[in-house]
Amino acid sequence: MDEADGYFGERVAAAYDESSGDMFEPGRIGATADFLAGLAAGGRALELGIGTGRVALPLARRGVPVHGIDLSRAMVARLRDKPDGDAIDVTIGDFATTRVDGTFSVAYLVFNTIMNLTTQAEQVACFRNAAAHLEPGGCFVIEVVIPELRRLPAGQNVVPFQVSPTRWAFDIYDVATQATSSNYVEVVDGRGEYRSIPFRYVWPSELDLMAQLAGLRLRERWDGWTRDPFTSDSRQHVSVWEKPADRP
């Protein structure tokens, strides 16, 4: 872990866009930006964990002013290198607690980033921070996976999700604490490298309770950005919580 940039330092930032290739598929990005632009309804958007600007840039091109918060200067530097990247305002800091000026119509946290906060207290603080930035009637949006505990064989705590002759990737779960980690082993030029990133998985119902603690209420929940129904077979969800119009 980089002391300044956390787990998303220069080495990760340099390859982030390529390693997350399917998340950059135009149809997926377009659906995400359209969903968020609809909620913004002409207002401002706040992205928690803005990273390299995967969502912020297409959202800004739809006419939505975007402000971002991110701990990693290395990731934000990649955003700055992209066309129109300098036009996005970014504050460097922990998105669970960092405040910026003004209020927003929508705040959002995508691509499982809520799980980068590795304690329940930090996740609750994130909801409260988002709520504090929202104008009355504004919305907080999270995109996150459903924990894949059903894939765990009895008595085991490891789920592999990538296997190739030169790369192995697997998640490790602790069901008692909801701690998990994504682990990567890669062989390059005959040399093996290992990287591990910690997370805390969280259930939809738990997120709803966090929202209540922050004064928000569930407005809608979908399987994804195209508003497919959320069911017991969904492997991820996009949830929208609303700040009541009568709440300051």
- Residue with the larger pLDDT of the pair 112 and 21: 112
Confidence of residue 22 (pLDDT cuts 50, 70, 90): confident
β-sheet with 191-200: strand ranges across: 158-163, 167-174, 179-188, 191-200
Whether 208 shows a pLDDT value over 90: the answer reads yes
Phi, psi of 8, deg, nearest 5: -120, 55
Confidence of residue 40 (pLDDT cuts 50, 70, 90): very high
Rounded mean pLDDT, 149-175: 93
Element holding 138 (H helix, E strand): strand 134-145
Q: Any idea how long the chain is?
A: 248
Whether 169 shows a pLDDT value over 90: the answer reads yes
Whether 150 shows a pLDDT value over 70: the answer reads yes
CA distance 105 to 45: 6
- For residue 203, give every residue at least 6 positions away whose Cβ sits within 8 Å of its Cβ, in sequence order, or none: 146, 147
- What Å distances lie between residue 33 and 37, 45, 165, 230, CA to CA? 6, 11, 36, 20
CA distance 247 to 212: 13
Whether 48 shows a pLDDT value over 80: the answer reads yes
Whether 125 shows a pLDDT value over 90: the answer reads yes
Whether 23 shows a pLDDT value over 90: the answer reads no
Q: What is the DSSP string of 211-243?
A: HHHTT-EEEEEESSTT-PBP-TT-SEEEEEEE-
Q: What is the reported pLDDT for 36?
A: 98
CA distance 45 to 53: 13
Give pLDDT tens digits for 64-75: 999 999 999 999
Whether 3 shows a pLDDT value over 70: the answer reads no
Look up residue 45 and give its two tokens: 């958007």
Q: What is the reported pLDDT for 247?
A: 74
Mean pLDDT of the chain: 95
Whether 1 shows a pLDDT value over 70: the answer reads no
Q: 175 in helix, strand or coil?
A: coil
Q: 170 in helix, strand or coil?
A: strand
For residues 126 and 95, is the Cβ–Cβ distance under 8 A? yes
CA distance 9 to 21: 19
Whether 2 shows a pLDDT value over 80: the answer reads no
CA distance 134 to 211: 13
Whether 243 shows a pLDDT value over 70: the answer reads yes
Give pLDDT tens digits for 8-18: 889 888 888 88
Q: What is the reported pLDDT for 17?
A: 87
Q: Report which of 139, 116, 105 is spatially closest to residue 7, judged by C-alpha positions.
A: 116
Rounded mean pLDDT, 232-236: 97
